[in-house]
Amino acid sequence: MNKIRVMSELLSNKIAAGEVVEKVVSIVKELVENSVDAKSTSIKVNLKEAGLREISVIDNGIGMSSEDATLAFQRHATSKLYTDDDLFNINSLGFRGEALPSIAAVSEVVLKTCEDEVGTLVHIKGGKILKVAPSESRIGTEITVTNMFYNTPARLKHLRSPYAELANVVEYINKMALSYPNIKFKLTNDENEILNTDGSGNLLKVIKSIYGLEVAKRMLEIKASNDDYVIEGYISLPEVTRANKNHMSILVNGRVIKNQFLNKIINDSYSSFKEDTRYPIVVIKINTDPSLIDVNIHPSKQDIKFSNFEDLKELIENTIINTLKTKILIPKIETKEQKSEVTYQNLSLNLDRNNIIKNNNENIEYDKDKEKLNNLVNYISEPNNELDNEEIKEEYIEEIINEKLPELYPIGLALGTYIVCENEKGIYLIDQHAAEERVNYERNSYLLSHPSNNVISPLVPIVITIPNNEYIKIKENIDILKELNFTIEEFGINSYRVISHPTWVPKGHEEEIVKRIFEEILNKGKDFTLAKFRDNLAKLISCKMSVKANTRITREAQEEIINKLRKCNNPYNCPHGRPTIIHFTIYELEKMFKRSI
């Protein structure tokens, strides 16, 4: 008797469902992508018990004929891919023809669709068609999925809690709404509305619907291109961050993707503007010729391979860094009136009110500006506002043209840590450690990338002993130390002796710095680059060289820190992303003391 047999189509569909349908969000994703491909302008996703009991997706797309409605549940039946050449020019979200048969194999599905005058109803359970009949003639498609994994109990018990499943669905629908702001998305769970976008095509409005007005006001628009790629979207100011990477939305030709390399590129672009443990809110749309990407590398279609990836990396890095550098990044203290519902500081488009309010006698000018700000807030808030987005941005965006920091005059030191300064625009607080750390960081970054031959030979050589496995790895990467002008030789078993080191190594911290360099080399991964290594080393050295908090320094030392800070390329943050300076405007101070109404 033969041992090898061809498995049944139903069994193969159940196996395929393990790759395509893993949880609730997998079903929602496949059905919503079909609705987008059907040219829908409105998509409703209704869940019951977070989708564990029922998932319903309703669209107003082109619909299907009766023949197509039944054929759609056959494996590898698709309207999006016909020839080998089509595989290298994919313009749709779906193309495999696996989603519907995989979903139907492990659940109960009711499909209602119509493209002409008479609709079609298809009822399938466990991959078997139970009913095909005429239905109402509502243009579009409605798919309802129940009894998920009823015939694969092992998979059913691995579903997560309703809260976890709902969170995954919400995250996916949010990203689809960001990817297609021209489509009206509505998401409900047990008839409670979670998301409702207006489909107006305004990405900033979608950001407001998802993250709220305060975040939308702190988003910066980006737009750039090279020969192969066009990128556009919004990135948050460095002060707006989250604890994880889930809010970094990358959309390629309208497809929501997860790519750890792009996430790292985006986060590294913020490296000197924010804390290392925090992540920005980013919505970046990447548009390119379909022939330059490969989406056919995983059944979930959520990862992509790029051609000319280095060019894309450089485009994203330069765009984000240049956008952040041209914006005013001094955090301002927000003061809210008791009855006010709107905060006017740091609007989406990074307005600098310092150029508007200069003294007590200009409240009339402020009132006029407040009215303009109200218009902008209303524009973001109201879905049917007819104001033109580009005109508003051109009217209100203000960028630094020449001087990054104004002239500041120190008047004292608070708590032994914060330099208190003043000028005609108000009062500034400068963190002396963060400020000097920024100054030292930019100096050390230059020295490390332009090494000189100036070295010091310690009177007593530094000897460092490490485990044998680490000893071998350091030996393998000894060239890195030579490029930094460290002269190091093997010294006995598992030990190295530092014969000389560069002059920029802070006095008294020589051994500590060498040990930290060893750690950086030992921890280097596949993405290690000499530039990143130098950057981390510059941060370490700068911290050790800088004046510490709770240290009383003289007025002359305060002035020196301020003058050097004003010459920095980025005087607003320390290398680890903490702010160096905070500004209280004259108006804000007088408002707090009830001198101004």
> Using one digit for the tens of pLDDT, what is the confidence trace for 167-209?
889 889 999 999 999 999 999 999 989 899 999 999 999 998 8
Within-domain flag for 439: yes
Find the length of the chain: 597
Q: Which of 160, 195, 230 is the last residue before a domain boundary?
A: 195
User: What DSSP letter does each residue of 296-341 carry, written as one string?
Assistant: TTSTT----EESSHHHHHHHHHHHHHHHHHTS----B-----TT--
CB-count exposure of residue 34 (10 Å: 0-12, 13-18, 19+): buried
Q: Which residues of 368-378 are buried (b: 16+ CB within 10 A; e: fewer)?
A: ebeeebeebbe
Residue 439 and residue 539 share a domain: yes
| pLDDT for the residue numbered 4 | 60
| pLDDT for the residue numbered 377 | 42
Q: What is the mean pLDDT of residues 264-291?
A: 85
d(CA 234, CA 227): 21
Within-domain flag for 200: no
| pLDDT for the residue numbered 190 | 92
d(CA 259, CA 298): 13
**342-366: per-residue pLDDT in tens?**
333 333 333 333 333 333 444 444 4
**52-63: per-residue pLDDT in tens?**
899 999 999 988
Residue 468 and residue 485 share a domain: yes
DSSP, res 40: -
Q: Which of 311-320, 424-433, 565-574 has the lowest mean pLDDT?
A: 565-574
The pLDDT-based confidence of 40 (bands split at 50, 70, 90) is: very high
Residue 83 and residue 179 share a domain: yes
d(CA 21, CA 555): 66
Q: Which of 401, 424, 439 is the last residue before a domain boundary?
A: 401
Within-domain flag for 491: yes
d(CA 516, CA 493): 20
Residue 366 and residue 229 share a domain: no
Residue 541 and residue 486 share a domain: yes
d(CA 505, CA 12): 64
Per the structure, how many domains does the chain have?
Answer: 4
Task: Enumerate residues 6+ apart whose C-beta is below 8 A from 368.
Answer: none
| pLDDT for the residue numbered 347 | 32
The average confidence (pLDDT) of the chain is 77
Q: What distances in angstroms separate CA 451 from CA 8, 502, 512, 532, one per listed residue? A: 68, 9, 20, 16
Residue 278 and residue 347 share a domain: no
Residue 546 and residue 455 share a domain: yes
Tokens of 116: 């002409």
Percent of the chain with pLDDT over 90: 18
Task: Enumerate residues 6+ apart whose C-beta is below 8 A from 406.
Answer: 423, 425
Q: Which domain holds residue 426?
A: 410-591
**205-231: per-residue pLDDT in tens?**
999 888 888 888 889 999 999 988 999
Give the predicted TM-score (pTM) of the model.
0.61
Residue 242 and residue 188 share a domain: no
Q: What is the mean pLDDT of residues 294-317?
A: 75
Within-domain flag for 4: no
Within-domain flag for 208: no
Within-domain flag for 360: yes
146 pLDDT more than 70: yes
Within-domain flag for 209: no
The CA angle 270-176-24, to the nearest 5 degrees, is 110
Q: Which of 353, 378, 401 is the last residue before a domain boundary?
A: 401
Residue 111 and residue 54 share a domain: yes
Residue 241 and residue 104 share a domain: no
Q: Which of 44-48, 81-85, 285-289 has the lowest mean pLDDT?
A: 81-85
H or E stretch covering 195? strand 192-196
Within-domain flag for 213: no
Residue 125 and residue 29 share a domain: yes
CATH number at 187 reads 3.30.565.10
Residue 160 and residue 29 share a domain: yes
CATH number at 569 reads 3.30.1370.100
Q: What is the mean pLDDT of residues 16-35?
A: 77
**480-512: per-residue pLDDT in tens?**
888 878 888 888 777 889 888 888 787 777 888
